[in-house]
Amino acid sequence: MSDYLDMELLRFSTAGSVDDGKSTLIGRMLYDSKSIFEDQYEAIEASSKKKGEEHVNLALLTDGLRSEREQGITIDVAYRYFATPKRKFIIADTPGHIQYTRNMVTGSSTSNLSIILIDARKGIIEQTYRHTFIASLLGIPHVVFCVNKMDLVDYSEETFHKIKRETEAFVSKLGIKDITFIPISALKGDNVVNKSEKMDWYQGGTLLYFLENVHIGSDYNHIDCRFPVQYVIRPQSDEFHDYRGYAGRIAGGVFKPGDKVIALPSGFSSTIKSIDTFNGSIDEAFAPMSVTLTLEDEIDISRGDMIVRDNNRPDVAQDIDIMVCWLSEKPLQLNGKYAVKHTSADVRCVVKEIKYKVDINTLHRMEDDREIKMNDIGRISIRTTKPLFIDEYKRNRNTGSLILIDEATNDTVGAGMIL
């Protein structure tokens, strides 16, 4: 039992296009790590036979909705789960073609790590740039490039190193913290879960070994204290007559009883009296814990406010520059008004300026094309109705992100990363 309690959670996303073997890789990981159940295996075995395939097609394990099976494509991000004795894994499996940017951005937004597949025969293609750029934009701390289909290039060391060198050259401009290269064959199982016997020249670990051991303890911000107030707890009972607790999930930093804090936007200061949970009060709380804070002084705080340390405050801003990824068929409207959700705050905004659009295949800024359509990424300036308490996205993914909502349809139309 104690083993289970020491397990960490790693969230990763996989990006790839139709034929690069992404589904096969996921199927292989699930199968070789013994995460496939008999009834699931029997189902895909039967499907493979029905289609006249020679081997059991592991890619079928990731097949989802009927409409997807009919069209032989994946439409939407699918989440999959497996565990080894060391870690529990959540895979955000993002399709490569239809609405690729939208799906990749969605899947990447909560990931610690991204796996980007490169076909050893083709080397770096447009999509490799695109996937890597999105991973860097979304601030994914760890990126693993899996050079796949090594079996089709005779497990050539030279091919692998050429792809590695070329990839490193363009990644250096993107500011990704941690990159790794692994030569694999998802189809044959080389270096996925089990070490390949065909690539003695490769001294590194398998993909699963890497996923189990990569250091993720520093992926959350434990420096800048940010507590967006989510809900105010007032029991109105005899036992807790005057209790007033601020419930929320810590978005950054470490909070302790006795800490001097201020509440934004009021600016009133107080001291943390206690950090409460159902199982009792605790000595400290850090991201991403859900807790309830009580303060020494009675000050007016409600949902949308933020409790921070006096000596380390976020920016308080109404004019905000963001990189936006557009998710809607209706293009972004200059001077258009949108609803905004940022941490627990709800405001409205107007789009003041579209600065440029990014060509996500070459990473060039396109200053003459400013129409931001579905799957486009661009830099824009917005002005909000009320100040938001923000950090740079690079510094904090919680307080540095926001979503834009179409006020007519209530649909989420934009994903914003604060610059």
Within positions 105 to 144, which residues make up the interface with another protein, using CB under 8 A?
105-106, 109-110
Q: What is the DSSP letter of 151?
A: G
Nearer to another protein by Cβ, of 233 and 334: the residue is 233
Interface with another protein, residue 37, by CB under 8 A? yes
Which tokens in the block code for residue 10? 């790693």
Q: Stretches 76-84, 146-154, 205-213, 267-275: which one binds another protein (CB under 8 A)?
A: 76-84
Which tokens in the block code for residue 276? 């409460």
Q: What is the DSSP string of 74-134?
A: --S-EEEEEE-SSEEEEEEE--SSTTHHHHHHHHHTT-SEEEEEEETTT-S-HHHHHHHHH
Interface with another protein, residue 402, by CB under 8 A? yes
Nearer to another protein by Cβ, of 217 and 368: the residue is 217
Q: Which of 4, 238, 283, 335 binds another protein (CB under 8 A)?
A: 4
Q: If you search the block for the tokens 């993914």, which residue do you land on?
A: 397
Q: Which of 25, 59, 78, 377 binds another protein (CB under 8 A)?
A: 78
Nearer to another protein by Cβ, of 118 and 287: the residue is 287
Q: Which of 240, 256, 267, 367 binds another protein (CB under 8 A)?
A: 240
# of chain residues touching another protein (CB under 8 A): 78
Which tokens in the block code for residue 136? 């860097």
**To 10 degrees, the CA torsion angle through 310, 312, 314, 316?**
50
Which amino acid, residue 110?
T
Site for another protein in 336-375 (CB under 8 A): 339, 341-344
Q: Which of 162, 164, 195, 249 binds another protein (CB under 8 A)?
A: 249
Q: Which of 87, 130, 142, 309 binds another protein (CB under 8 A)?
A: 87
Interface with another protein, residue 102, by CB under 8 A? yes
Q: Stretches 13-21, 199-207, 228-236, 351-359: which one binds another protein (CB under 8 A)?
A: 228-236
**To 10 degrees, the CA torsion angle through 232, 236, 239, 245?**
10
> How far from each other are the two terminal CA atoms of the chain, in whole angstroms?
44
Q: Which of 32, 45, 76, 166 binds another protein (CB under 8 A)?
A: 76
Nearer to another protein by Cβ, of 103 and 159: the residue is 103
Which amino acid, residue 375?
N
Region of 301 please: left (phi>0), alpha (psi -120 to 50) or beta: beta
Q: Minimum distance from CB of 130 to another protein (Å)?
A: 18
Cβ atoms of 191 and 181 within 8 Å: the answer is no
Site for another protein in 193-222 (CB under 8 A): 217, 220, 222
Q: How far apart are CA 402 and CA 414, in angstroms?
A: 8
Interface with another protein, residue 6, by CB under 8 A? yes
Which tokens in the block code for residue 152? 């089709």
Q: If you search the block for the tokens 């959540």, which residue do you land on?
A: 90
Q: Which of 67, 203, 311, 335 binds another protein (CB under 8 A)?
A: 67
Other CB atoms within a 10 A radius of the CB of residue 1 amount to 4
Q: Minimum distance from CB of 38 to another protein (Å)?
A: 4
Nearer to another protein by Cβ, of 99 and 270: the residue is 99
Q: How far apart are CA 28 and CA 91, in angstroms?
A: 13
Q: How far apart are CA 154 and CA 4, in angstroms?
A: 41
Q: Stretches 25-33, 145-153, 261-269, 406-414: which one binds another protein (CB under 8 A)?
A: 406-414
Per-residue x/- track, 273-312, another protein (CB under 8 A): ---xxxx------xxxxx-x----------x---------
Query: Which SS3 state, helix, strand or coil, does residue 153 take?
Result: helix
Interface with another protein, residue 51, by CB under 8 A? no
Which tokens in the block code for residue 188? 């044959």
Nearer to another protein by Cβ, of 145 and 220: the residue is 220
Site for another protein in 311-330 (CB under 8 A): 327
Alpha carbon 94 to its chain's center? 11
Which residue in 142, 160, 140 sits closest to 151, CA to CA?
A: 160
Nearer to another protein by Cβ, of 41 and 268: the residue is 41
Interface with another protein, residue 398, by CB under 8 A? yes
Interface with another protein, residue 376, by CB under 8 A? no
Q: How far apart are CA 298 and CA 30, in angstroms?
A: 53
Interface with another protein, residue 71, by CB under 8 A? no
Interface with another protein, residue 335, by CB under 8 A? no
